[in-house]
Amino acid sequence: MNKFYITTSLPYINSKPHIGHALELVQADVIARWRRMQGEEVFFLTGTDEHGSKVAKIAQETGDSPQAVADRNSALFAELKDVLNLSNDGFIRTSDQDNHWPGAQQLWRLLGEAGDIYRSTYHGLYCIGCEAFVTEKDLVNGVCPIHRAAPEAVEEENYFFRLSKYGPEIARLIESGELTITPRGRATEMLNVIKAGLEDISFSRPAKKLPWGIPVPDDPTQTMYVWCDALANYITGIGYGRDERSFTKWWPADLHVIGKDILRFHAAIWPGMLLSAGLPLPKQIFVHGFISAGGHKMSKSLGNVIDPTEIVERYGTDALRYYLLREIPSVDDGNFSWQRFTEIYDSELANNLGNLLSRVLQMTHQYFGGRVPPGSAGDELKFDQHLVEFQSQLAAFDFAKAALALDAWISRLNTLIDQRQPWVLAKSQIKEDQTLLANTIYDLLEELRLAALLIYPLMPKTANLIYEHLGLDPISKGALNFKQAIHWGGLRAESKVKHPPILFPKSASQ
């Protein structure tokens, strides 16, 4: 059985989860579910980044310990598994002293043994908002373009990592495709950065300035900076430093799913660390864009931060998943609009998919007593075309095209009902009309079953409901033999179907 290891980046826990976090998690979940359906053994990892001065500051302001703040805020992100119906197999926390710290410290030691960690004085700029050292090249008119604030000048004794040593090899790996970055434009962007020259990076901070973090091995006066802490999650989350068998099984990662703001960390710093440690590099990095709200970047001050839980409570998990996949460009920035959300919800989910299932099940009960009629051989070639297109769209991470293709398929089935007019055929005494009626209802039921297979990675609850109402066992992790299920004729004549559910209740806008 082929294995597939997929990760998301770790969200920082200084604020609550927002819809941008949901986008990345749902994108990764679609890929993980689809790979499982192909019969692959999948490990899907996410988690939380919990160290740093921002968390320490929150603890100071609230009178809690940093660990208490981390526990409370990390739980909000862990709860997204239920909110978004995620299928992640692991959830790694950087404050976990049993599962994360040993591997992070082991990685540090390997870099030191390679001669790539040295002590020096750092003179430069530090952005408090980013919790990162920055250069003049990172600034716009002297301020951080993300936080609109000037960084502070810093001079401190730190450990450094010899990243400059690995620039040529990282560039070669990207150019050869051994480290694939998608979309290609992001690879070009990184190659330009790398070929301009990578500088050694500050790898620690004084413990008196940053006490909340992982101590540097053999030097408690220094705390690991984010590079060897948060980035190490991709290997500690599968056992590095504590379970060598598990780590060897899953590493290297097949896919890192990240946002465009942390591309440099994952396509330069992380590969450099792995090369230094003598560990294999991930195979591919997929880079998505940002979500704005109402045309503006989400921020607390503007009051436009979108809480995914609020959407799910009003419309359900699958409605949010579908909107994110269908409306937000996979690799470019997108915008969340309540008006657009309700338009898509009503037209494509309630009126198209929900209406189709209701019509077909209702006619099955009305004309055949709720039992599947005998059907024709069907057009398996047509489904094969849907399947090939869907596979290619997911391989290219083009979730929007995949969603739109499914919507077009459902529209075609609704049109087929209007063209065949089963209500007219049912009144006819002609044998050929009765045969056409049976074939029509069977075709609709069977195409709904096949469509549900492709709907499943995007909207798992909806796909399972369709299967359940067709009298079939749910499509669950690993339980479905996909290679058998994709063939025409999965529904047996005379099997019972259920009465139609309301898949997507009409929104208040209608």
Q: For this structure, is 386 an active site residue? A: no
Q: Which of 265, 263, 270 is nearest to 182 (CA)?
A: 263
Please pick, among 51, 100, 144, 266, the residue that the annotation labels catalytic: 144
Please pick, among 51, 127, 228, 386, the residue that the annotation labels catalytic: 127
With both helix axes pointing from N to C terminus, report the angle between 317-327 and 431-458 in degrees, rounded to the nearest 10: 80
Q: For this structure, is 3 an active site residue? A: no
User: 491-505 burial string, b = 16+ CB within 10 Å, else e?
Assistant: beeeeebeebeebbe
Q: Which of 153, 504, 235 is nearest to 350 (CA)?
A: 504
Q: For this structure, is 21 an active site residue? A: yes
For residues 471 and 498, the answer to whether their CB atoms sit within 8 Å is: yes
Q: For this structure, is 228 an active site residue? A: no
Q: Which two tokens stand for residue 205?
A: 């901070």
Q: How far apart are CA 465 and CA 473, in angstroms?
A: 10
Please pick, among 54, 57, 81, 130, the residue that the annotation labels catalytic: 130
Q: For this structure, is 297 an active site residue? A: yes
Q: For this structure, is 147 an active site residue? A: yes
Q: How far apart are CA 306 and CA 308, in angstroms?
A: 6
Contacts of 140 (CB under 8 A, 6+ apart): none
Q: How far apart are CA 133 and CA 146, in angstroms?
A: 14
Its sign, for the CA torsion 258, 264, 268, 274, is: negative
Q: Which of 149, 186, 141, 147 is nearest to 297 (CA)?
A: 147
User: 45 in helix, strand or coil?
Assistant: strand
Alpha helices in 428-501 (DSSP H): 431-458, 460-469, 482-485
Provide the 10 A C-beta neighbour count for residue 161. 25
Q: What is the DSSP string of 442-456?
A: HHHHHHHHHHHHHHH
Please pick, among 3, 147, 208, 427, the residue that the annotation labels catalytic: 147
User: 14 in helix, strand or coil?
Assistant: coil
Q: For this structure, is 130 an active site residue? A: yes
For residues 227 and 201, the answer to whether their CB atoms sit within 8 Å is: yes
> Rounded to whole angstroms, what are the CA distances from 165 to 168, 280, 300?
8, 17, 41
Please pick, among 3, 195, 296, 297, the residue that the annotation labels catalytic: 297
Q: For this structure, is 499 an active site residue? A: no
Tell me the catalytic residues: 18, 21, 127, 130, 144, 147, 297, 300
